[in-house]
Amino acid sequence: MNRGSAFTGLNEILQEAERLNPAGSLKLSDSIVSAIYGRAERIAQKAVSQEARPAVDWDKRLDDILTSKLFGFPSMFLLLAALFWVTVSGANYPSEVLAAVLFRGQEKLAELLAWLRVPAFVSSFLADGVYRCLAWVVSVMLPPMAIFFPCFALLEDLGYLPRVAFNLDSLFKKAGAHGKQSLTMSMGLGCNAAGVISCRIIESPRERLIAVLTNNFVPCNGRFPTLIALAGLLATGAGASAGAALIVSGMVLSGIAVTLAVSWILSKTLLKGIPSSFTLELPPYRRPQLGRVIARSVFDRILFVLRRAACVAAPAGAVIWLAANVQAGGASIMAHFAGWLDPFGRLLGMDGHIMAAFLLGLPANEIVLPVLIMSYTAAGSMLELDSFEALRQLFMAEHGWTWLTAVCMMLFSLLHYPCGTTLWTIYKETNSFKWAILSALIPLLVACLVCFAAARAARLLGWA
């Protein structure tokens, strides 16, 4: 048979297949997989003998609740909310202690440099810039990661995470993505870099890329401090704590909705394709092995992410210190930068100082709020106010913030580009500058459009 005849025969076969199964309506892949599993189950029934089943099948009882259409999503939300609450509330005290220890190191470093007679400019650059930024990132990132990753691994070892994927599979399939993306998205709640790495569990390269490009839309530990602080500005009165918790929870749900929407757009445009079948056998619930969970969390996730964050934070501290301390025309470079960005920031419901803080916070999202405070107060190094009231006084009273400013900054913090560590991780995972750049540009475009629409709508309606 020559090559032309072969192509003709193949075309006829494809046309016949299209006639019998127009646009994949018969779902042949699902039918084939179901038939394989059905056949395997019949073989197992004949070949495997089992002990008598217990009087109460607790696995089935739990699955009737955790994977049901009625209780599946509420129970999933409550479990993740509890995990989120434990992480945020439990990390506060360790962060304070770690920050106190590390910042004492800054004083010792400054004393050492003075004893070595290092020029004041260089000493401040090293101690107040490079070291302080590094200490800040470590003290803010390490405690939440040390809580979140083991708790998340416990759920994983318990056998609950496959149930999460089962519950969300239909939503992600409708969005043209893979059900396992729900697992990588959940991992992104702790750290987007870890979430990107976890995308390796998705076999399809197309769906893995969708998961990588959209992982940023769920807030990581680095963005939670900003979201919580701004929610605290909006919620006042007796129920302030509950109100702030509801606002942050609403932001997380908004991030999931944007993840699904952007996944759908990508699957229809840049990453076209048919969603692959997701066959997941729900494992039995089992008792977690604490030693293995802790070892895997520490060595595979915490230290890995922390090392990459530290590599980015040190040079970032140098750049931020120079921007705040080098003067030109009677003002710092940061002040000029903020003035240049101000018109664009106003269009998005914010101002130039906020936009400058986000740009300078590219290395690590944890430093966005301290950089903003430093920019407003014209301080020479990163600092932090000691109460919500002090923050409200600085933002609302002295710099004219409204509720719209706080909401737009929260939306921009939720949706804008990933931190430098995550971008570097995306490059390493995809081995492509193209996807690393797109993973920054797509969220930035989404963040600008959402903030512009929110600000425009609020102003047209006379709400702000």
Q: Give backbone dihedrals phi and psi of 328, rounded to 5 degrees, phi first.
A: -150, 120
Distance CA 84, CA 91 (A): 11
Report CA Rg, the chain: 26
Let me know if residue 402 belongs to a domain: yes
**309 near 141, Cβ under 8 Å?**
yes
For residue 288, being part of any structural domain is answered with no
Task: Select the more confidently predicted residue: 5 or 427.
Answer: 427
Residue 328: strand, helix, or coil: strand
On whether residue 324 sits in a domain, the answer given is yes
Joined together, the tokens standing for residue 318 give 């140098």
Residue 431, helix vs strand vs coil: coil
> Per the domain annotation, does 361 fall within a domain?
yes
pLDDT tens digits, 172-202: 888 888 878 887 887 787 678 878 988 888 8
The tokens for 45 are: 């029934």
**CA nearest 421: which of 360, 363, 369, 361?**
363
Query: Average pLDDT in the 141-156 region?
Result: 76
Residue 65 lies in a domain: no
Question: Which of 55-59, 146-150, 209-213, 389-393 is the most confident on average?
Answer: 209-213
What's the pLDDT score for residue 84? 66
Asked if 113 and 135 touch (Cβ cutoff 8 Å), the reply is no
Q: Which residues contact 347 (CB under 8 A, 6 or more apart)?
A: 452, 455
Q: Highest-confidence range of 90-99, 281-290, 434-443, by mean pLDDT?
A: 434-443
Quickly state the pLDDT bin for 211 (edges 50, 70, 90): very high
Tens digits of residue pLDDT in 417-459: 998 888 988 998 898 999 999 999 999 999 999 999 999 999 9
DSSP, collapsed to helix, strand or coil, labels residue 349 as coil
Q: What percent of the chain has pLDDT over 70?
A: 85
In this prediction, residue 411 carries a pLDDT of 95
Residues 6+ apart with CB under 8 A from 265: none
In angstroms, how far apart are the furthest CA atoms of the chain?
Answer: 87
Residue 26, pLDDT score: 65
Given the structure tokens 């509950």, which residue do they identify? 242
The average pLDDT across 68-78 equals: 83
**Structure tokens belonging to residue 68:** 């049901």
Please check whether residue 8 lies inside any domain of the structure. no
> What is the pTM for the complete model shown?
0.73
| Residue 246, pLDDT above cutoff 60 | yes
Mean pLDDT, all residues of the chain? 81
Token output for 1: 């048979």
Query: What's the average model confidence in pLDDT over 346-359?
Result: 93
Percent of the chain with pLDDT over 90: 20
For 20, counting Cβ atoms within 10 Å of its Cβ (0-12 exposed, 13-18 middle, 19+ buried), the class is: exposed
Number of domains in the chain: 1
pLDDT, average across residues 269-276: 81
Q: With respect to residue 338, please indicate whether it lies within any of the assigned structural domains.
A: yes
More confidently predicted of 411 and 313:
411
344 is in which domain, residue-wise? Answer: 293-461
Neighbours of 82 (CB within 10 A): 11
In a domain, 42, yes or no: no
